[in-house]
Amino acid sequence: MELMSKISEEVKSYIYDNGEAFDEKLLSEAVNVSTKIKDILDRGNIDLLKNARKLISYVLEQKDEELTSFAEQEGIAWATHSLTLSLKLEWVQAIRRTLWQLIHDLESNKKITDTRNDFFVMEKFVNDRIDQFLNSFFISYSSYKDEMLHKQREIVEHLSVPIIPVRENVSVLPLIGSMDTYRMQIIEDKVFTEISTSRIQSLIIDLSGMALMEIDVIDEFEKILAGVSMMGCRAILTGLRPDLVKRMVHSGIRFDSDIDTRGTLQETLREYL
């Protein structure tokens, strides 16, 4: 668009000649952000003033691909350093207001547009692209946050499945807390891997600290025990409480002959140690 090219040149020329005035106006429009400019730069190496000019440049020069890519990079950066969405929204809206004030001043002095229709075309062009930036930023921010939370949950779940070697070829797996199918999947992956890599021949699984299992979780647990036997490892269950035994019996679970059950972990460890 010839109109947007003309406006772009005028705006870039103004910012180049009046950079400090432009920055001061921008900061005055974002009171909460202005007090955190240095903190954001120190925490995430994010130069808000420099990035504001980059955003304006991409918008006015019709660089839609660069605009979207920039928004996605910003989303990841803000999510990585736990910067709040409210600050980002305030900052982008301040950029929008400052840009329109600048365009208004240029229009008053230089009559950039010829008709009222030109102004509305320009208004739609600019605001649509700023909204596009915000939309891409929020999607990138949310996706990256979700990915981080998922990875953190995986780490926590793996740490909550400690397989402790007590002697050569003998290890203990204490299961504590509530169980769901997701956690059972983590247990399955870790148990099978450890049996293979550590050459475990006897795995003592202590259930005394575990909450009541639901039927679908009991089914998954039975499959894990079957897999342990298939890998040539002997499973020893300890700490089976009456309520858990009752639920297992009613769910139809039947232990293979390779699986032993003992009273307590302490008694079992005394035998193996």
Give pLDDT, residue 268: 86
Give pLDDT, residue 28: 92
Q: 0.85 cut: is pTM over it? A: no
Cβ-based neighbours of 32, under 8 Å, separated by 6 or more: 86, 87, 90
59-95 tens-digit pLDDT: 988 899 999 999 999 999 999 988 999 999 999 999 9
Q: What is the mean pLDDT of residues 12-35?
A: 88
Residues 242 and 191 placed together within one structural domain of the fold: yes
Q: How far apart are CA 218 and CA 252, in angstroms?
A: 10
Residues 172 and 139 placed together within one structural domain of the fold: no
Cα distances (Å, whole numbers) of residue 156 to 42, 81, 203 = 29, 21, 22
Strands 170-177 and 164-167: antiparallel
Among 151, 177, 204, identify where a domain stops: 151
- Enter the DSSP assignment of 9: H
Show the tokens assigned to 123. Answer: 């208004």
Domain total of the chain: 2
Residue 157 has pLDDT above 70, yes or no: no
Residues 8 and 47 placed together within one structural domain of the fold: yes
Q: What is the mean pLDDT of residues 242-256?
A: 76
Q: How far apart are CA 238 and CA 267, in angstroms?
A: 9
In a domain, 156, yes or no: no
Residues of the domain holding 221: 164-271
Q: Higher model confidence: residue 215 or residue 84?
A: 84
Q: What is the mean pLDDT of residues 209-225?
A: 83
CB environment 171-186: b (16+ within 10 A), e (fewer)? bbbbbeeebeeebbeb
Residues 52 and 90 placed together within one structural domain of the fold: yes
Q: What is the mean pLDDT of residues 9-31?
A: 88
Give pLDDT, residue 159: 61
- CA angle at 196 for the pair 195 and 202, rounded to the nearest 5°: 30
* Torsions phi, psi for 43 (to 5 deg): -75, -45
Nearest to 240 by CA among 220, 221, 224: 221
Q: What is the CATH number of the domain that holds 262?
A: 3.30.750.24
Show the tokens assigned to 247. Answer: 């639920």
Helix intervals (H) in 45-84: 48-60, 64-80
User: How many other C-beta atoms lie within 10 A of the C-beta of residue 91?
Assistant: 24
pLDDT category of residue 143 using cuts at 50, 70 and 90: very high
Residues 34 and 146 placed together within one structural domain of the fold: yes
Residue 258 has pLDDT above 70, yes or no: no
Residues 232 and 106 placed together within one structural domain of the fold: no
Residues 21 and 105 placed together within one structural domain of the fold: yes
Residues 11 and 109 placed together within one structural domain of the fold: yes
Give pLDDT, residue 57: 92
Q: What is the mean pLDDT of residues 220-225?
A: 88
